[in-house]
Structure 1
Amino acid sequence: MDKNVNIDWSNLGFSYIKTDFRYISRWKDGKWDEGKLVEDNKITISEASTALHYGQQCFEGLKAYRTKNGKIQLFRPDKNAKRMNDSCRRILMPEIPEEKFIDACIKVVKANEAYVPPYGTGATLYIRPFIIGVGENIGVKPAPEYLFCVFCLPVGPYFKGGMTPVNFTVSEYDRAAPYGTGAAKVGGNYAGSLLPHELAAKKGFADCIYLDPMTHTKIEEVGAANFFGITKDNKFVTPKSPSILPSITKYSLMHIAKEYLGMEVEERDVFIDKLDEFKEAGACGTAAVITPIGGIEYKENFHVFHSETEVGPVTKKLYDTLYGIQFGDIDPPKGWIVEVK
């Protein structure tokens, strides 16, 4: 694409920028239409849409990366498609065929190619697919129609001045209910997290840690990210629970820890009162890849892992490996990369 966009790539943050095209498809009478690219970034829906009243909506987040040789690639979009369908099933929305999901993402990236940041800036093109229940429906039941949309925007590197550990406090609030929607990427989970996040920020922490809703003894999530720890005998450990959102970054890191770094990997209970089993800890997700955890406040105690100022060596190696795969500098496992052609 020849278009020049006037963007200072080195000073991008994580905020909305309107790009040229987005994708929209409607589900009606039991099927999705073909879908199309449109220029208008506004959606008009009925005032009685279930997305507005009953929270019938879900979303995804993934990125497109520019490689050293100028190619553009997506990272494991099939996993985002699968997770979106898991979310749809949980709240009775129609599923999106995986090919349609990936095709929509590719179409949007190609149409907005000028907004894919150059290699070496650390910036990426963030892609946001979402599905909302629409149509005229005031009863508490699934919507008569749905919209599947995908838009994108360039975002800056999460760590502007290099990767730095941050501190977290344990929240008294629950992120999800036992047997609730914690494993689905639905907006209500995020609405409920706004207050606990604000309370943590007022105390000077980056965000809060949520414990399991049943017993309040085990770590579940770190803000909107998944937790992992590196034990003193060098195992990669991450919590296992039916109310954790299954992070694609986390499962990628588990594979990298085992296959690239030769570590043992355990998905199991992580008890909040046993933090001293870990020499390093981090939060992982699409935005930052890894946010190193300096320390965690729990009740009256503050537990420091590797350091409050320096990133631990294992965390750094995990980050560098995954980052290298995403930007095309390290050979990926089979099927992880989809090139945008």
Structure 2
Amino acid sequence: MKKQTAMRPEDIDWHNLKFGYTRTPVNVRCYWRDGAWGPIEEHTEETVTLHMAATALHYGQTAFEGLKAFRCKDGKVRIFRMDENAKRIQSSASYLQMAVPSIELFCEMVTRVVTLNKDYIPAYETGGSLYVRPVIVGSGPQLGVKPADETLLLMFASPVGPYYSGGMKGISAIIDRTHDRAAPFGTGHTKAGGNYGASLTSALEGHEKGYDSELYLDPAEHRYIDECGAANFFGIRVDPAADGGRAHYITPASHSILPSITNKSLRQIAEDFGMVVEARRVELDELNTFDEAGCCGTAAVITPVATIFDPADGKTYDFGTGVGPWSKKLYDELVAIQHGEAEDRHGWNTVLDI
């Protein structure tokens, strides 16, 4: 691989930055060896040396996270809910039998990689952010199927532009009745790398058929809604005759669905807005009852879903081409909290004066 150097901040076209990888000068790493986590190391190279028998390469001992840091209007930097990312990587590492980093270690590493690359945090007016990617892998060698005796936790950062550079647009999705995203009691509740590798064929086939994303059904019965591509799904129902006309925020819940931090945040904001929040199994037939549909995650926050096609009966569920009023309201509030423009009522942001 050709060695690259980080671009100088002054050479980056900040207003036309895409949502993709741009090298920054420093990444941080920490190894668990002999039963303990070592010191946090600062590295300038992009590559990682792994033993050819490392369990990450053979047995899938790998998981990752994604979170953002924002340069805000007041000049300060806000990191959104990194403690929740710490808890989720703990869950993933524990289930995959890797060493589990403490919340304190994880947050210290996030803070350090953001601080070391502070010159690469896009300015407030660009709408961009610094995306932080923590990765944990079994780095020790094994020839039998067993956990590694060494674990590597590393984090790098990349400046990214706004996900919607031309405004929010509804996507098309096709219900995948051929592939499952995860097994009923498998790794679906973790952010294991293998979950995403297993979804590539489904995504490619969906794109070849002309759809932006795929909607997975539950792997046990193919009766309930699971996830939409690599993101959590939600629907919004507004029935003037029920619950005093309160809108409902409805999202699937099962062991095979990743617990999205964005979804968790949106549910709390929905409650703050007086909406009825339902996290439960969602029948496929309920799509007929939703006024709005969307998927949510770190990258886009909310992606409106315009249409969902079911190849089983040729039916298309239509939710409109734009973003619905409730989805827009939830999106605007979450983004405002991330940028310090709305009250951080629940203490989600870590504020850095750098």
Give the TM-score range, shorter chain: over 0.9
Aligned to 1:13: 18
CA contact (8 A) 1:62 1:75 kept: yes
1:213 CA displacement: 0.3
- Compare 214-223 and 327-336 and name the one that shifted more: 327-336
Amino acid at match of 1:292: P
Report whether the alignment pairs 1:219 with 2:225: yes
Pick closer, same or farther for the CA change 1:134–1:4 going to 2, 3 Å.
closer
CA contact (8 A) 1:209 1:221 kept: yes
Q: Which of 304, 311, 319 is matched with 2:318 structurally? A: 304
Partner of 1:166: 171
* 2:208 aligned residue: 202
Residue 97 of structure 2, aligned match among 72, 92, 97: 92
Give the TM-score taking structure 1 as reference length.
Answer: 0.97
1:264 alignment partner AA: V
State whether structure 2 residue 130 is matched by structure 1 residue 125. yes
Gaps of 5+ in 2: 1-7, 240-246
Task: Look up the equivalent residue of 1:304 and give its one-letter code.
Answer: D
Tell me what 1:148 maps to: 153
Runs ≥4 in structure 1, deviation > 6 angstroms? none
1:136 and 1:315 mapped to 2: Cα distance?
A: 47
- Identity within the alignment, %: 47
Query: How far 1:196 sits from its partner (Å)?
Result: 0.3
How far apart, in 2, do the equivalents of 1:222 and 1:231 lie? Answer: 18
Q: Secondary structure at the match of 1:179?
A: coil
Extract unaligned runs of 5+ from structure 1: none
Corresponding residue for residue 66 of structure 2: 61
What amino acid sits opposite 1:197 in the alignment? A
- TM-score, normalising length from structure 2? 0.93
Q: Do structure 1's residue 252 and structure 2's residue 265 form an aligned pair? A: yes
Mapped to 2, the partners of 1:94 and 1:86 lie a distance apart of: 11
What's the secondary structure of 1:324's corresponding residue? helix
Q: Distance in 2 between matches of 1:315 and 1:273?
A: 21
Deviations 1:101-129 (A, max 9, x none): 01100100000001000002111100000
Native 8 Å contact 1:5 1:115 kept in 2: no
Deviations 1:78-104 (A, max 9, x none): 000000000011110111110110110
Which aligned pairs between 1:1-341 and structure 2 lie closer than 5 A? Answer: 4-172=9-177, 173-233=179-239, 234-259=247-272, 261-299=273-311, 300-305=314-319, 307-308=320-321, 310-341=322-353
Cα drift, residue 141 of structure 1: 0.2
Partner SS, residue 17 of structure 1: coil
CA RMSD, aligned part only? 1.0
CA–CA distance in structure 2, aligned partners of residues 215 and 131 of structure 1: 32
Find the aligned partners of 1:146 and 1:268 in 2 and give their Cα distance: 35
The secondary structure found in structure 2 opposite 1:94 is: coil
Classify the secondary structure of the residue corresponding to 1:93: coil
* Matches of 2:274 and 2:141, distance apart in 1: 55
SS at match of 2:112: helix
Query: What displacement does 1:135 show?
Result: 2.3
User: SS in structure 2 opposite 1:174?
Assistant: coil
